[in-house]
Chains A and B, each alone.
Chain A
Amino acid sequence: MKLKRALGVAVVAVLASGGAAQADYPERSIGMMIPFSAGGGTDVPGRFFAAEMEKILGTDIVVSNVTGAGGTIGATQLSKAKADGYSLGFMPVGTTTTQPHLRKTSYNAESWAPICLVAQGPLYVTVLEDSPIKTVDDLIAKAKSGKVVTGGPPPGSLPHIAQAAVANAYGVKFNYIPHEGINEVAKSMLGGRVDMAIWFGDAKARFGLRPLAILDVERSAEFPDVPTMTELGQPVESFVWFGFFAPAGTPEAIVTKLSDACDKAANSDGFQDNMKKAKRQVRYMPRDEFAAFFKSQYEKNGALLKEAGLVK
């Protein structure tokens, strides 16, 4: 009997929520989709962010990891979800701006209502700590005189595009060996099969890789002695970012409410501390700025992929 009554209450609650005004948002738990596996590069900042948003919005945020195919499976699911503010996504640059060009995804730049930018991570050109390659010039000299083997995630990934961009800038070519992920690349480097990898700042602490240059406009606080590619004369930029998205068509009032909450969450002490502990960078961008940024990244990455010959 008790169970029946509880079920009855639940049913009434669900029905009532459907007809309620948006002003009461949120009045039940919110789903947040992360298109990569738990404990991974996207999941870690995503879950930190969700924890803060829970406090601010005063409701549960249920994180689900829908993985596979560069995040496109989760993104496809989210793009088709009901745009009522209860299905949201925490997605990185690749899933949202390169994969739609690479694969025939059913979603594109118009499928999202960008809410805010939350985190970023610049890429570095890295080599083994005891590698004879000390500078980018050494690397290019090696590529010109023999061959440089580099490794990274499957073609079309950000590190893959970035290494092509660096090679193009200097008019050389690196031998790219695709790996399952950075863990495998690190193994290949330690085993002496791969010379160089383009990866994030955590490559130093995790695998003892030495950064030669940062692919960003300015030097990072983490490695103040590492020069930017611009300083070295070749302005190549590449960094991953993580944004908070709702499916397109989500009511204006709800997106506004979420972007206000995001402002507080991204700048909260809890989030900043957690990110620092995990050696990750916070980068907040409010809604309008992020929407414009997202659009430009979408087009720029599409052009880069075409240049690299990955998209016809």
Chain B
Amino acid sequence: MGVLDNLSLALSQIASWEVLLAIFIGTAYGTLVGALPGMGTVVALVVALPFTYSMGTPAAIALLLSIYCASVYGGSITAILINTPGTPQSAATVLDGYPMARSGKADLALGWATFASAFGGVFSLIVLIIAAPRLARLSVYFGPVETFALILFALTCIAWVSSGSMVKGLLAGAIGLFLASIGPDNMTGLSRFGFGIDALAGGLSLISVLIGLFALSEAFTRAAYYVQGKPPDVAGVGFRLPPWSDIRIRLRMLVQSSAIGTAIGILPGTGATAATFVSYAEAKRTSPRRENFGKGEPDGVVASEASNNAVTGGALVPTLALGIPGDGGTVVLLGALLIQGLVPGVQLFQNNPEIMIGAFIVILIANLLMVVFGAIGARGFRRVMGLPEPLLMGWVVLMSVVGAFAVRGNPIDVVVAVLAGLFGVVMRLAGVPVAPIVIGMALGKTLEQSLRQGLMLNDGSFLAFFGQPIAVGIFVITLVFVGAPIYTAYRKGRGA
């Protein structure tokens, strides 16, 4: 069969009420669940999974793919409006999205987030369509040594997101790395820092820590200031797409962020959270408007949201082409495909090309629908934001606690979230940025595992790491990124 035959077969499968309804529901539900603090992409997919068992294959795939894409976008809404990322992938959106909202440009911030999300999603989809099998083949050569180098590079983002004191940022990053070391050590099978508590043997979940640091600490802080008078309100809630003139000057930022997201998505083990911070750091380094970062610069929102949605297409590359999932969400997707009797991998590309093409069309529709739902949903957001503050925050606390529990069904996660919330309040008072904790936690485990795997593969020799060209390249870039600002500061210091 030719490409056109496959395309028409794919279209005929999609053009049914069942499938279109699945895309519609999936996108709406994904956006909503993504926006709820605590309910991330994986929970959104897991909740929907049992419903797909009784659905036809095209509808099941359509539902899950739409949820996957839309939930990543949904996280930005609460990040912008209430300083609380709905998903870990939107943690970097808070940095500029919330300041924008506070300065009365909430509608524009949502517009940028939505536009950038759709842009990143479509960008990565194009890459997926054009180059999936080839890129997937290449991605397998990216081994533990290269992964270690990349994660080390990603950690330098801490410097870029810790506005203010660098030492405090590094401190927060170190705390994050430590938190990631709690729980099972996959290299030996032993438990660490469990203190004999059975429930801690599985480690801390990033989502529950994130819920505490962002959502709960926000609620606690607002409660503390409530009696003293209202904290600054978010103004201008609504939905406004940025004007074309603004988009045009940010086209390079959109493409750059989407490319970073897609690339990191293709490399398994790094994940969307890391991608957003790398993209944010890169934007802050290269943007002509870098002085405004952290004060409500649309570039910051674009960098974060374009990259996290670009990860969806990127992560699907190895998932569909090799059967190797690229992130947490694609693990669930893969499971769902297996249940449908479809085995992702080379055979799927050869035997069922119409399913792959169908999947591409679904992702495209879902990304475009996101914009529509964002615009319609904004009316709803305005209502919600108009609620009395205690009610709104009470609702945030409730959703947070439910979300923390729902991730793994482990009650200790609720305790962890509340403790992280209290800790988050202390950090706010001390002026320590919380974002680096998220970076440290999101990367800590992979950093350690890739280092130890790399050492095991090279008979314990770290020197052998420098025999791998890709890794050496990344090491050099890291060195330049860390060294250049220090060198400049040193020169300035001597000149003065």
Contacts and interface: CB of A to CB of B under 8 A. Distances in A.
Interface stretch (A9-17, A102-110, A130-138): A102-110
Interface stretch (B127-135, B150-158, B449-457): B449-457
Contact of B324 (A37, A39, A186, A193): A186
Nearest to A106: B198
B409 A67 contact: yes
Contacts of A278: 338-339, 341
A179 B453 contact: yes
B463 to A, nearest CB: 18
B46 interface: yes
B449 A180 contact: yes
B49 A206 contact: no
A183 interface: yes
A56 interface: no
Interface string B163-192: 000000000000000000001111111010
Interface residues of B, number: 54
Given A39-B49, A73-B201, A191-B143, A183 B189 contact: no
B487 interface: no
B140 A51 contact: no
Interface stretch (A148-156, A246-254, A291-299): A148-156
Interface in A98-132: 102-103, 105-106
A233 interface: no
B410 A68 contact: yes
Given A183-B324, A186-B323, A69 B332 contact: no
Interface string A160-201: 100000000000000101111001101110111100000000
Interface stretch (B256-264, B344-352, B414-422): B344-352
A13 B427 CA distance: 47
Contact of B46 (A38, A68, A191): A38
A206 B50 contact: no
B331 A37 contact: yes
B437 to A, nearest CB: 21
A63 B335 contact: no
A139 B265 CA distance: 35
B436 interface: no
Interface in B433-488: 449, 453, 456-457
Nearest to B142: A191
A178 B198 contact: no
Contact of A39 (B140, B201, B323, B336): B336
B409 A65 contact: yes
A305 to B, nearest CB: 10
A65 B339 contact: no
Contact of B409 (A66, A105, A157, A183): A66
Nearest to A70: B184
A66 B345 contact: no
B396 interface: no
B322 A186 contact: yes
B188 A155 contact: yes
B269 interface: yes
A207 interface: yes
A206 to B, nearest CB: 4
Interface string B83-114: 00000000000000000000000000000000
Given A153-B186, A187-B140, 19 more contacts: A37-B46, A39-B332, A39-B334, A68-B184, A69-B183, A73-B199, A77-B409, A154-B187, A154-B189, A175-B456, A178-B188, A178-B453, A180-B269, A190-B137, A202-B338, A205-B343, A208-B346, A274-B339, A277-B341
30 contacts: A37-B331, A38-B49, A38-B332, A39-B46, A39-B49, A40-B335, A47-B53, A51-B53, A65-B408, A66-B409, A67-B409, A68-B183, A69-B202, A70-B184, A73-B202, A73-B410, A74-B409, A154-B185, A156-B189, A178-B186, A183-B331, A184-B269, A187-B318, A191-B140, A205-B343, A205-B345, A206-B345, A207-B323, A208-B345, A278-B339
